[in-house]
């Protein structure tokens, strides 16, 4: 639980997601926020009476504790923290769509002022990877850029779409920070400096990210969703009709584990367990929340959670003491709990009544049995997915077919799917005249991501008034909007990408069957698809190759060619000597010219053979090193593994070689 300990009324409106706490003199924390008039205000109640020098910073006429920093253009992001290696106080960083300003508030001077052509939609300050000094990293139009304390560009890379949120955390648990990037293409990407480590697909723009602890982080989407990831695994998520304006990690119950604090567009503040998403505290502002930060604002040695609204109201909270926790249950929380328990009671009473009525109807199997919802014991819910191309009356789509195997009918179907339907749910309720045991639902995935379809169907007899609820989950493959192409005359793709993978064709075939909707299983990786979104072709072709085998083949061909040339040389020498003895100088000269040309060809072939042999040795060394490593992994069984690998190579059994190196035996 949190206890409110102070409230401030500032006479400045605050831009959402543009709130920070900075110790600009190294001692006193100052609340800093962007206003709608192209200014940044700095609230410092600790050093009253000290007026700033006349540069960018000026004193507010409405509040003596507030100084104003004139940016003269719309502020798009800001943060504060330690940037320079030898600086005492924090640096204020303010981004706009054209520039980034690093400002020393204490000395009232610019540290640097850099033009940023891609804009600055989000900003984070901290250490990244092996880069020596902290960086001010900004995310703009598909680009990420990092500046050091002198304004030098130390980091630059690109990402998939406009950046909306950034956070630094040790995602890979290697002791170094990675950069997490949320963007408008619904993806959360993880960068180790300029290397893309992984990405998580969401179903809306990622507006906020915050580090919680370890590799765990919170996120918020533009559609009102908030949740928590641990690396690539999502722990939980909830969705609200309101928008999450700011998220922050704070230990509100003093148990050593932070909770996810969320400020909402309707003015609500709530705290949720990082493990379950359960609400354990909430409060309300009269207007939308602008930002949630933390700091020792009272300078009493206790870190407070500081929440501010867009109207300039600021509240500070502290975790409640153990003595107070039992008395701080908010009245609204009690009412919500009572309401939830009452609803649960009504549902249980209704369910019990249905069971009792069904029990009365079962012994006699009377006329009313169908009305009571009694259905055959073999009733099952069956689902099938198929690709449907566009027609004159309907767009291209995936058809979900839901059916029962007997005379029962499906009265209604509810489908819950993330990122496909508006509101993430879809209801199909056929009219009484069209009731049957089959319901077809068109699905159009907006992106190539795997989606779980959670299906609930109401099944009963044709005259039933009560229905059984069947639940089933079916996964929509990642590339479901691609149809198998059967038109050989179609124009082939003009562009292509060629790359090597260390896998067998059978593994690629397995991947194709798992990620595409194919009418029946395929046995070859050579296949062509038509994309239903744009109508273009996707052609996949795989050619297995083995470099060692190729070099062996070339070596054998060159050896055979040299043997043929050697026999030809013997014949040329005999013919030349015969011509000399017979005094046939013209034929003798002709034979020696042919011998000269043949010798030159032999020398060139020897060079080719020598280069091929060296390349073959290099590849064999690589294979031998891999075998040695595989043997070391087996400890006492090292000699057996090496011997088995040698035998597999002698027998040219590459599949057995791979199995031995992976598992230590060819029989696994």
pLDDT reported for residue 207: 94
Position 555 in a domain: no
292 touches 305 (CB < 8 A): yes
pLDDT reported for residue 45: 85
Which helix or strand (DSSP H or E) is residue 408 part of?
none
Q: Average pLDDT in the 444-468 region?
A: 87
pLDDT reported for residue 139: 92
Position 597 in a domain: yes
Of 125, 94, 126, which Cα lies nearest the Cα of 111?
94
* Radius of gyration (C-alpha) of the chain in whole angstroms: 36
User: Mind listing the pLDDT tens digit for each residue in 503-528?
Assistant: 777 788 888 888 998 877 777 888 88
78 with 103, same domain: the answer is yes
Q: How far apart are CA 538 and CA 306, in angstroms?
A: 53
Maximum Cα interatomic distance, the chain, rounded to a whole number of Å: 127
179 touches 144 (CB < 8 A): yes
66 with 172, same domain: the answer is yes
Torsion of CA 598, 602, 605, 610, to 10 degrees: -170
451 with 395, same domain: the answer is yes
User: Mind listing the pLDDT tens digit for each residue in 284-295?
Assistant: 999 999 999 999
User: Mind listing the pLDDT tens digit for each residue in 524-570?
Assistant: 888 888 888 888 888 888 876 655 555 556 666 767 777 777 777 77
Position 354 in a domain: no
496 with 442, same domain: the answer is no
324 with 421, same domain: the answer is no
Position 504 in a domain: yes
Q: How many domains are contained in the chain?
A: 4
Residue in the structure block whose two tokens are 């034929």: 587
User: Mind listing the pLDDT tens digit for each residue in 74-110?
Assistant: 999 999 999 988 788 999 999 998 899 999 988 888 8
418 touches 451 (CB < 8 A): yes
Domain-ending residue, one of 476, 503, 519 = 476
Domain-ending residue, one of 431, 460, 476 = 476
With helix as H, strand as E and coil as C, how does 420-458 read? CCHHHEEEECCCHHHCCCEEEEEECCCCCCCEEEEEEEE
Which helix or strand (DSSP H or E) is residue 381 part of?
none
285 with 153, same domain: the answer is yes
Of the CA atoms within 13 Å of residue 68, those in its CB half-sphere come to 20
Name the burial class of residue 129, with classes exposed (0-12), middle (13-18) and buried (19+) by CB atoms within 10 angstroms of its CB: middle
Q: How far apart are CA 35 and CA 244, in angstroms?
A: 19
Check which CATH number belongs to the domain holding 463 and give it: 2.60.40
pLDDT reported for residue 328: 44
534 with 454, same domain: the answer is no
User: Mind listing the pLDDT tens digit for each residue in 14-68?
Assistant: 999 999 999 998 899 999 999 888 889 999 887 765 555 445 666 665 666 888 8
465 touches 448 (CB < 8 A): no
pLDDT reported for residue 364: 47
Q: What global pTM score does this model have?
A: 0.67
Going by the DSSP 8-state scheme, the letter that residue 502 receives in this structure is: S
457 with 576, same domain: the answer is no
Q: Which domain holds residue 439?
A: 382-476
509 with 458, same domain: the answer is no
User: Mind listing the pLDDT tens digit for each residue in 235-261?
Assistant: 899 988 899 999 999 998 777 889 999
Q: Average pLDDT in the 264-293 region?
A: 92
Q: Which residues pair with 58 in a beta bridge?
A: 68
* DSSP calls for 190-254: EEETTEEEEEEE-SS-EEEEEEEETTEEEEEETTSEEEEEETTEEEEEEE-SS-EEEEEEE-SSS
122 touches 94 (CB < 8 A): no
Residue 319's alpha-carbon distances to 20, 109, 655, in angstroms, are: 21, 38, 61
Q: How far apart are CA 476 and CA 556, in angstroms?
A: 50
98 with 231, same domain: the answer is yes
**Interstrand relation of 438-443 and 425-428 (parallel, antiparallel or unpaired):** unpaired
What angle is formed at CA 635 by the lines to CA 629 and CA 637, rounded to 5 degrees? 95
pLDDT reported for residue 50: 54
Which helix or strand (DSSP H or E) is residue 132 part of?
none
Position 399 in a domain: yes
Q: Average pLDDT in the 395-406 region?
A: 91
527 with 628, same domain: the answer is no
Domain-ending residue, one of 540, 557, 580 = 540
Of 134 and 59, which is predicted with more confidence? 134
User: Mind listing the pLDDT tens digit for each residue in 315-345?
Assistant: 999 887 655 554 444 555 677 678 788 888 8
Of 73, 79, 122, 127, which Cα lies nearest the Cα of 103?
79
Residue in the structure block whose two tokens are 């205000």: 41
Q: How far apart are CA 589 and CA 576, in angstroms?
A: 8
75 touches 18 (CB < 8 A): yes
Position 551 in a domain: no
pLDDT reported for residue 441: 92
Lowest mean pLDDT across 120-124, 159-163, 229-233, 646-650 = 646-650
666 pLDDT band (50/70/90 cuts)? low
Position 545 in a domain: no
Torsion of CA 395, 399, 404, 408, to 10 degrees: -10
72 with 96, same domain: the answer is yes
User: Mind listing the pLDDT tens digit for each residue in 429-448?
Assistant: 998 888 888 999 999 988 88
Q: Is 160 helix (H, G, I), strand (E, B) or coil?
A: coil
User: Mind listing the pLDDT tens digit for each residue in 207-222?
Assistant: 999 999 989 999 999 9
Q: Which residues pair with 402 in a beta bridge?
A: 383, 439
* Helix, strand, coil percent content, the chain, rounded in steps of 5: 25, 35, 40
Q: How far apart are CA 426 and CA 408, in angstroms?
A: 22
Q: Is 603 helix (H, G, I), strand (E, B) or coil?
A: helix
CB atoms within 10 A of CB 202: 25
Of 311, 165, 324, which Cα lies nearest the Cα of 252?
324
Position 42 in a domain: yes
């Amino acid at each position: 639980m949190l206890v409110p300990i102070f409230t401030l009324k500032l006479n400045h409106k605050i831009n959402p997601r543009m709130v920070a706490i900075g110790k600009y003199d190294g001692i006193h924390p100052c609340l800093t926020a962007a206003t709608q008039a192209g200014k940044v205000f700095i609230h410092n109640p600790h050093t009253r009476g000290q007026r700033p020098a006349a540069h960018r910073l000026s004193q507010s006429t409405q509040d003596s504790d507030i100084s104003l920093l004139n940016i003269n253009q719309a502020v798009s992001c800001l943060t504060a923290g330690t940037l320079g290696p030898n600086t005492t106080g924090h640096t204020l960083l303010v981004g706009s769509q054209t520039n980034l300003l690093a400002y020393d508030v204490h000395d009232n001077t610019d540290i640097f002022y850099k033009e940023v052509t891609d804009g600055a939609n989000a900003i984070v300050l901290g250490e990244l990877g092996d880069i020596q000094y902290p960086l001010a990293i900004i995310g703009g139009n598909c680009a990420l850029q990092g500046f050091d304390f002198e304004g030098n560009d130390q980091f630059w890379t690109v990402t998939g779409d406009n950046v909306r949120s950034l956070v630094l955390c040790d995602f890979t648990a290697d002791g170094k920070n990675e950069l997490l990037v949320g963007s408008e293409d619904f993806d959360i990407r993880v960068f180790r400096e300029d290397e893309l480590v992984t990405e998580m697909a969401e179903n809306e723009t990622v507006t906020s990210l915050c580090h919680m602890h370890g590799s765990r982080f919170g996120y918020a989407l533009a559609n009102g969703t908030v949740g928590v990831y641990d690396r690539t695994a999502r722990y939980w998520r909830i969705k609200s009709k309101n928008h999450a304006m700011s998220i922050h990690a704070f230990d509100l119950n003093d148990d050593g584990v932070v909770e996810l604090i969320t400020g909402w567009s309707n003015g609500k503040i709530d705290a949720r367990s990082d493990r379950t998403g359960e609400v354990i505290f909430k409060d309300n502002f009269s207007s939308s929340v602008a930002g949630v930060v933390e700091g020792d604002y009272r300078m009493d040695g206790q870190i407070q959670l500081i929440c501010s609204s867009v109207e300039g109201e600021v509240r500070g909270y502290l975790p409640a003491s153990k003595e107070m926790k039992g008395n701080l249950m908010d009245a609204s929380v009690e009412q919500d709990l009572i309401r939830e328990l009452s609803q649960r009671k009504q549902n249980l009473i209704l369910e019990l009544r249905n069971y009792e009525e069904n029990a009365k109807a079962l012994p006699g199997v009377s006329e009313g049995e169908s009305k009571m919802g009694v259905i055959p014991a073999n009733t099952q819910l069956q689902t099938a997915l198929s690709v449907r191309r566009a027609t004159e009356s309907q767009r291209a789509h995936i058809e979900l077919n839901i059916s029962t195997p007997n005379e029962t009918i499906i009265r209604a179907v509810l489908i819950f799917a993330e990122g496909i339907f508006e509101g993430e749910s879809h209801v199909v309720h056929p009219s009484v005249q069209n009731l049957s045991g089959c319901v077809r639902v068109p699905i159009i995935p907006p992106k190539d991501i795997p989606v779980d379809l959670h299906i609930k169907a109401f099944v009963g007899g044709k005259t039933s008034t009560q229905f059984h609820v069947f639940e089933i989950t079916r996964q929509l493959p990642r590339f479901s909007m691609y149809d198998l192409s059967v038109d050989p005359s179609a124009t082939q793709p003009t562009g292509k990408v060629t790359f090597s993978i260390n896998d067998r064709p059978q593994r690629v075939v397995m991947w194709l069957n798992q990620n595409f909707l194919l009418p029946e299983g395929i046995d070859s990786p050579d296949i062509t698809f038509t994309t239903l979104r744009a109508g273009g072709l996707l052609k996949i072709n795989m050619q297995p190759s083995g470099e060692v085998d190729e070099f062996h083949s070339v070596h054998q061909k060159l050896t055979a060619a040299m043997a043929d040339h050697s026999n030809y040389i013997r014949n040329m020498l005999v013919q030349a000597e015969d011509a000399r003895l017979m005094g046939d100088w013209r034929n003798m000269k002709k034979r020696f010219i042919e011998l000269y040309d043949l010798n030159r060809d032999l020398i060139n072939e020897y060079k080719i053979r020598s280069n091929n042999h060296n390349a073959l040795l290099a590849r064999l060394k690589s294979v031998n090193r891999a075998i040695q490593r595989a043997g070391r992994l087996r400890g006492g069984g090292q000699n057996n593994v090496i011997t088995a690998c040698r035998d597999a190579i002698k027998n040219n059994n590459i599949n057995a070689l791979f199995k031995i190196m992976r598992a230590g035996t060819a029989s696994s």
